[in-house]
Structure 1
Amino acid sequence: MSLPLASVRRRGAAWAASAAALAALLAGCAGVPLNPPRPAPSAVPPAGTPSDVLAPSAPGAALLRPRSRWQPVDWSELPGWESDRVLEAWSALYRSCERPPQGWSALCAEVLLTPPADESAARAWLQARLQPYRVESPEGATEGLVTGYYEPLIEASRMPRGGFAVPLHRPPADLGTRKPYWTRQQLDSLPAAAAALRGREIAYVADPLDALVLQIQGSGRLRITEADGRQRTVRLAFAGHNDQPYKSVGRWLIEQGEIRAEQASWPGIKAWARANPRRVQELLWSNPRVVFFREEPLPDPQAGPRGAQGVALTPGRSIAVDPQSIPYGTPVWLSSTEPLSTQALQRLVVAQDTGSAIVGAVRADFFWGWGEQAEQQAGRMKQPLRLWVLWPRGPQS
């Protein structure tokens, strides 16, 4: 998520030096707020609320949102507009149009029924039907921050074996009977609490920190070895939590004097765990929140998890935003740079997710996808950002 940088699936929160979900582990480091878990999609207000309806007070006037101001501009202001392969964003736009925001009914009908034939047709359609607006803070600031997040992909076993001994659980049957539910430490150490999880195991992973990452991110992919030796990839989706507060393990390490703030990266936390195996349980118990999952099939391996809009995210073309600044489903022109690089990152993306720390006008969390490269890119991303929204011209439908 939500972990959307961001978390629990839709997730929500701000991130810093590590991967989106992983950045949540490091909250408070390097002067950048790091995300707690992303909220589940159902926990986020849907698009199409009255505050999503935008109409200028006069031709050429700015559009006002609760946390942003949109200034109309010419297409020539969008840096790199002519260089992006905008047709690659059509799948993300198509998914958003399955749940169109207010003001998009007529245009989404066109998106769903008549896809553009080629790159030039896609660009022409966008320029004919949409008006670009520069996103600013209410005070007029035009530059903000972009971070990154990803969907974890973790090796797992259906049965405990070899090094695979850390279970991932479905919600316990009595989850609703205690408010709050047992803490992480109680579930690990009290017989009565542990009994509630017996028989609720979905699969087992090898590293307890991998299990923690899944819980912070709120969803992920498991490459599972079944009891008969066959392998398949499934998705774990957020199914609830124990109603305990989220606490950052990265912050705990800093407060314990175990690492310095500049060391509070995901590699840094794992290095500490390897050097201090007897204290890993103490580290985990510092975060009392436990997330429970449900297993879902993965019919389309190219589709990401559902974001706050309720549609599947598209790697490299979906972002998490503050919905009080940009409504879900809005096409956005993003201008930044690649992580740890001066190479331009300028492309058409769609606002489809949020994160509890993704707050403010010019703030975004960039969805990189899944796998090792996505994890590395997400963990490195903390770049300057400018945004332009593309909004329907004329009367709103």
Structure 2
Amino acid sequence: MVTEETEAAPAGKTPDGFVETGFDALPGWADDNHADALSAFLRFCRSSGTLLSKGPIRLSAERADEICKNALAAEGAGNAAARAFFEAEFVPHVIDAKGFVTGYYEPELAASRTQSGAFPAPLLKAPEGLVQITSSNRPRNWPEELSHGRQTAKGIVPLPDRPAIMAGALAEEGLDLVYLSDPVEAFFVHVQGSARLRLTDGAAMRVGYAGKTGHPYTSVARVLVNRGEGTPEQLTMTGLRKWFVDNPDRRDELLGQNRSYIFFREVEIEDPKDGPIGAAGLPLVAGRSLAVDLAHLSLGLPIFLETSLSDVKDLSDVEGLTADLRRLVIADDTGSSIKGAARGDLFVGSGLAAGRIAGDIRHAARMTVLLPKSARSERGNR
């Protein structure tokens, strides 16, 4: 998933639209594997200073250390101990908004370090001078929709968008990182934000997010829906892939409708079992990692997710996913298309099976945030 940066925020109180409830009011809470959820949560405790240290909902360093000490004490003590930890340290709050969840995954693709007819489509490294636009560096009259720019001797300037880059706007800068066999596959890597690659020399490579041009993200599937070329149910990832196969002469025009362009870096693979690195700088956990809107939620928050996936085929191909999905997940990623407090994107896993399932997840959902006791929020002061 594509990562984004957020600025630190001042303290406040419980966010507006977060309605306190009880654990006994959460359907399926008692049936979840809380030990698995605790394991996912502990990634933040083992990465010093990352648990709710910034964003709209945060903790003091002392309170975060206390929570992590209690979490570590519950580790390995079984499901009941893990559940008791969450119930003792957090207060559930239902997000009073229409919830929606999608799925994302990490592609596994063939690739080459050299460009050829078989591998024509590059993934690009970040250009020199790429910066996020913040309140401290925003130039006068800077377009509101541009989140990033390029620092030059004359100041910060906009970067070219996707159509311009496809036309060669950055071709002379030597930014090519690796090459894929198909521009459409490269586009889907942009959407997912990372990929595992099988290189032609037999080596393995992982690429992850390194920045973006900052232009607004547009769903090309939504473009087709608006053009009357299909319904949202038809234009899942599987349906969109079919559209590209059926319309090769229209491929570049449609890809160019999404002006956002993502840059990548090579990520060292320490443990092949680990998922890709999310916005928190931690490996994602299939079925337990959720990408959220960092304008509303902070990295490290546990969230109880409720949705029905009864119409999604082959769920058993991904361990732990069920038709009636009610489970505790951890906010540890974000993405350009994730907007709203009750909007989530569930990391399904890596490979083709995960991709098929992730592409079919587009469902109404209820999200209940577990706010740590003594958490602070900027949103109550607005």
Scaled to the shorter chain, the TM-score interval is 0.7 to 0.9
Choose the corresponding residue for 1:292, options 230, 245, 263.
263
TM-score (norm 1): 0.72
Match of 1:72 in 2: 21
Q: Are 1:124 and 2:84 an aligned pair?
A: yes
Q: What secondary structure, in the 3-state scheme, does the structure 1 residue paired with 2:30 have?
A: coil
Match of 2:345 in 1: 365
Q: Is the 8 A contact 1:180 1:244 kept in 2?
A: no
Q: Alpha-carbon deviation of 1:93?
A: 0.6
Q: What secondary structure, in the 3-state scheme, does the structure 1 residue paired with 2:355 have?
A: helix
Choose the corresponding residue for 1:327, options 273, 298, 319.
298
Match of 1:87 in 2: 35
Taking a change above 3 Å as real, the CA distance of residues 231 and 311 of structure 1, as seen in their structure-2 partners, is closer
Choose the corresponding residue for 1:196, options 166, 169, 172.
172
Aligned partner letter, 1:133: P
Choose the corresponding residue for 1:337, options 308, 313, 320.
308
Q: Alpha-carbon deviation of 1:364?
A: 2.3
Q: Are 1:153 and 2:108 an aligned pair?
A: yes
Q: Alpha-carbon deviation of 1:173?
A: 4.6
Q: Is the 8 A contact 2:293 2:340 kept in 1?
A: yes
Q: Are 1:278 and 2:249 an aligned pair?
A: yes
Q: 1:371, 1:244 → 2: CA distance?
A: 29
1:176-215 alignment, distance < 5 Å: 176=150, 177=152, 179-189=157-167, 193=169, 195-197=171-173, 199-215=174-190
Match of 1:21 in 2: none
Q: 2:157, 2:358 → 1: CA distance?
A: 35
Choose the corresponding residue for 1:230, options 192, 202, 209.
202
Q: How many residues align?
A: 331
Match of 1:100 in 2: 51
Q: Is the 8 A contact 1:145 1:364 kept in 2?
A: yes
For residues 267-319 of structure 1, the C-alpha deviation after alignment (integer angstroms, 9 at most, x for no partner) is 33332322332332333334444322111111123333333334332111111
Match of 2:141 in 1: none
For residues 161-207 of structure 1, the C-alpha deviation after alignment (integer angstroms, 9 at most, x for no partner) is 452221222234576348323444444445xx45424x432221111
Q: What secondary structure, in the 3-state scheme, does the structure 2 residue paired with 1:82 have?
A: helix
Taking a change above 3 Å as real, the CA distance of residues 261 and 165 of structure 1, as seen in their structure-2 partners, is same
For residues 219-269 of structure 1, the C-alpha deviation after alignment (integer angstroms, 9 at most, x for no partner) is 3222222xxx3231x221222334444444334445666x23344333333
Unmatched tracts of structure 1, length 5 or more: 2-8, 11-39, 55-63
Q: Are 1:377 and 2:353 an aligned pair?
A: no
User: What is the aligned-residue RMSD (CA, Å)?
Assistant: 3.1
Q: 1:394, 1:240 → 2: CA distance?
A: 34
Aligned partner letter, 2:51: P
Match of 1:135 in 2: 94
Taking a change above 3 Å as real, the CA distance of residues 367 and 283 of structure 1, as seen in their structure-2 partners, is same
Aligned partner letter, 2:176: E
Q: Alpha-carbon deviation of 1:374?
A: 1.8
Aligned identity (percent) is 37
TM-score (norm 2): 0.75
Aligned partner letter, 2:28: G
Q: 2:159, 2:371 → 1: CA distance?
A: 44
Taking a change above 3 Å as real, the CA distance of residues 303 and 253 of structure 1, as seen in their structure-2 partners, is same
Q: 2:187, 2:284 → 1: CA distance?
A: 22
Taking a change above 3 Å as real, the CA distance of residues 335 and 132 of structure 1, as seen in their structure-2 partners, is farther
Unmatched tracts of structure 2, length 5 or more: 53-58, 131-149, 313-321, 377-382
Q: 1:324, 1:243 → 2: CA distance?
A: 16
Q: 1:77, 1:125 → 2: CA distance?
A: 18
